[in-house]
Structure 1
């Protein structure tokens, strides 16, 4: 399928089969997740923290994203490959389109950006060029410094309505799906029922959205130094790695 066909297939999942998305940052992980049947591989700017060791996503550059998108794309996955537009690479519609095109040239099939009403013209510029766009609303990691931390969203009717208005603006501009991050469950359910495109939740509670996305290191337990409170690890790769290293040292040193 083409990138547009893959994105449309995700859009048509609204109200039907739930969407399962995971982040991926390298070739072997992308292959393994795709072989497992994941629907969307998000090359997220979360790589700034869990791969590159930065304190937040605001340090991620376009060069970082291009490097990791290309690695994931080399796996030739069946899943839709979505690349994040890093901070300050989509400050204008023209810059947003240029950044999106560079990510597509590296292997992304769609791109994702954060924000609502203020981003509508940027979304429109990208979608009119034939590149699928995924939105991101609720808690916006690229604004963590402005907001002084990671805060739950949708706690009041006014907050929820602002998210809905932002969602409608980017839907009208052409997004095929929207990631909703750290929105309280009641608001996430309301928004999911209200919006015409799939919502993909992270930190919104279980079964409140049309699908879920997880950071792969949270799922695998491979980044033990920080685990979000909403994460549900299904493995202990960090523990397995430490045990393997201990056995290797025994083999090499003999004690």
Structure 2
């Protein structure tokens, strides 16, 4: 079964948890798709995990198009969602249409994701959804705002919590098919999830969300320093290091090739 945005809504109604991981190339996409992931997110986190930048801000649209197309070639079942990079949708609604349109046309992904939920962003989402472009929202800790927000948990004060709650309402009204809730208190995430009719996807937002997302490099233990809400299911960094060291040793001692 190919996953669709309509299927996600049914799963929320059925209380069936939604699974999401990030992907940045064909090989990872193919593996993750075959094990049955519901959503593959071509997140702008690849700026850090795959390209070595300190934040997501330097990522270009051209780089995102390149990676998203590779991921889509590897995915046959999962819904593939692509982040819109920083300053490729904030300038105007026309810019957002052109960017999102290019992403769908040139990569084949089924949806885009953008950060924020204020009235301006909500209006952009409305414009995109009205012309048939599926949009996933993202509120709470929004990495493209790192220089303003840092990487601290959002929504801890009553004022912040009310703002984030209102952003969720804005985005649902604007037509998103799902919303990522990142690094906010569990109670706030639960309140938003119970209020919305569209699914919430949590990352550092507790168990009450309709689904969960992890950055795949965190899942695999490839990240030297993980965020506090991530979980490594294997230490692939250590395994790769050991394999490479064994290879070097074999070559130096002429044990490879045998």
> Which residue does the alignment assign to 1:110?
111
**Structure 1 residue 66 and structure 2 residue 65: aligned?**
yes
Following superposition, the deviation at residue 42 of structure 1 comes to: 0.1
Look up the SS of the partner of 1:197 in the other structure: coil
Structure 1 unaligned blocks of 5 or more = none
Query: Over residues 82-130 of structure 1, what are the superposed CA-to-partner deviations in whole Å (9 max), with x where a residue is unaligned?
Result: 0000010002111111111111121211000001122111111111121
> Which residue does the alignment assign to 2:129?
127
> What's the RMSD between the two structures over aligned residues?
1.4
> Which residue does the alignment assign to 1:203?
204
> Which residue does the alignment assign to 1:101?
101
> Which residue does the alignment assign to 1:192?
193
Following superposition, the deviation at residue 160 of structure 1 comes to: 1.7
> Which residue does the alignment assign to 1:163?
164
Query: Over residues 47-81 of structure 1, what are the superposed CA-to-partner deviations in whole Å (9 max), with x where a residue is unaligned?
Result: 01011000001111101110100110111321000
Q: Is the Cα contact below 8 Å between 1:176 and 1:197 reproduced in 2?
A: yes
Following superposition, the deviation at residue 162 of structure 1 comes to: 1.1
Following superposition, the deviation at residue 157 of structure 1 comes to: 2.6
Q: Is the Cα contact below 8 Å between 1:38 and 1:79 reproduced in 2?
A: yes
Following superposition, the deviation at residue 239 of structure 1 comes to: 0.8
Q: Which aligned segments of 4 or more residues in structure 1 are displaced greater than 2 angstroms?
A: none
Distance 1:36 1:178 in 2: 24
> Which residue does the alignment assign to 1:82?
81
Q: Is the Cα contact below 8 Å between 1:94 and 1:125 reproduced in 2?
A: no
Following superposition, the deviation at residue 208 of structure 1 comes to: 2.4
Q: Is the Cα contact below 8 Å between 2:22 and 2:42 reproduced in 1?
A: yes
Distance 2:29 2:7 in 1: 20
> Which residue does the alignment assign to 2:182?
181
Matches within 5 A, 1:193-232: 193-205=194-206, 207-223=207-223, 225-232=224-231
Q: Is the Cα contact below 8 Å between 1:30 and 1:77 reproduced in 2?
A: no
Q: Please give the TM-score of this superposition, normalised by the length of structure 1.
A: 0.94
> Which residue does the alignment assign to 1:247?
246
Following superposition, the deviation at residue 140 of structure 1 comes to: 0.7
Following superposition, the deviation at residue 199 of structure 1 comes to: 0.6
Matches within 5 A, 1:132-151: 132-147=134-149, 149-151=150-152
Query: Over residues 216-242 of structure 1, what are the superposed CA-to-partner deviations in whole Å (9 max), with x where a residue is unaligned?
Result: 00001122x221111110011111101
Look up the SS of the partner of 2:181 in the other structure: strand
Query: Over residues 16-50 of structure 1, what are the superposed CA-to-partner deviations in whole Å (9 max), with x where a residue is unaligned?
Result: 20000000000010010011110000000000101
Distance 1:76 1:115 in 2: 27
Following superposition, the deviation at residue 146 of structure 1 comes to: 2.2
Q: Which moved more, 1:94-103 or 1:38-47?
A: 94-103
